[in-house]
Amino acid sequence: MSGLELIAAVLGVIAVWLTVKQNAWCWPIGLVMVLIYGWLFFDVKLYSGMLLQLAYAVLQLYGWWQWKRPERVEDARLVSRLALPAVLAGLACGGLLSVALGAAMAHWTDAAMPWLDATLTGFSLVAQLWMAQKRVQCWPLWVVVDVIYVGLYLHQQLYFTAGLFALLTLIAVRGWLEWRRDPALVAA
């Protein structure tokens, strides 16, 4: 399955790079990537990761709509910054989801690494939602999550995916720097 994993990894790099550049094509390309990864993660018993890919599929459609809003291009979302209470609330939601999902996966499935997989899933959902809303705080959260994902995927012998997440970490740093300089954010 390494050929399919390689295709998903390449699509992932393209999708995230397009996100950094605020190009709405990131969303349909990302949709194809997450569907492939959903299948791959099921195969290696990373069930929380598989569920995350299904949630990402919905968030890919949401992000595409948020960024394009086809009826009025001028209403498309601009880069913005969340207030500290909203950041803390988002992180708390990610933590609660991590605990609930981790407990479910550890108790009812034969999931590999149920707690780590669930924790990364919880915080990835927060980062993805913030990305769809063009919140600059998505990028530092992605950096942390992506670094930990590298270790998880190396442990699961998903080497292309580990390489993808190492590259995504660098792209997330770039995204954070670029979005912080975005004229919409600077003017706010």
- Residue 164 counted as domain residue: yes
145: helix, coil or strand? helix
What is the per-residue pLDDT across 111-160, written as a single tens digit (0 to 9) for each? Answer: 889 999 999 999 999 999 999 889 999 999 999 999 999 999 999 888 88
Closest CA to 83 of 122, 135, 139, 145: 135
Mean pLDDT of 64-78: 69
Judged against a pLDDT cut of 80, whether residue 186 lies above it is answered with no
Any domain includes 20: yes
CA distance 164 to 11: 10
Residue 72 has pLDDT above 90, yes or no: no
Q: Is residue 121 part of a domain?
A: yes
Distance CA 7, CA 133 (A): 27
| pLDDT tens by residue, 1-47 | 578 888 998 999 999 999 999 898 999 999 999 999 999 999 888 88
DSSP notation for 29-81:
HHHHHHHHHHHHHHHTT-HHHHHHHHHHHHHHHHHHHHHH-TT-GGGS---B-
Instruction: Please give the pLDDT value at position 3.
Output: 87
Residue 76's pLDDT band, with cuts at 50, 70 and 90, is low
Based on the structure, what is the number of domains in the chain?
Answer: 1
Q: Determine the pLDDT at residue 49.
A: 84
> For residues 113 and 74, what is the distance between their CA atoms, to the nearest angstrom?
44
Q: Is residue 111 part of a domain?
A: yes
| Domain-embedded: residue 171 | yes
What pTM was estimated for this model as a whole? 0.85
Domain enclosing residue 169, as ranges: 2-71+84-187
- Whether 78 is in a domain gets the answer no
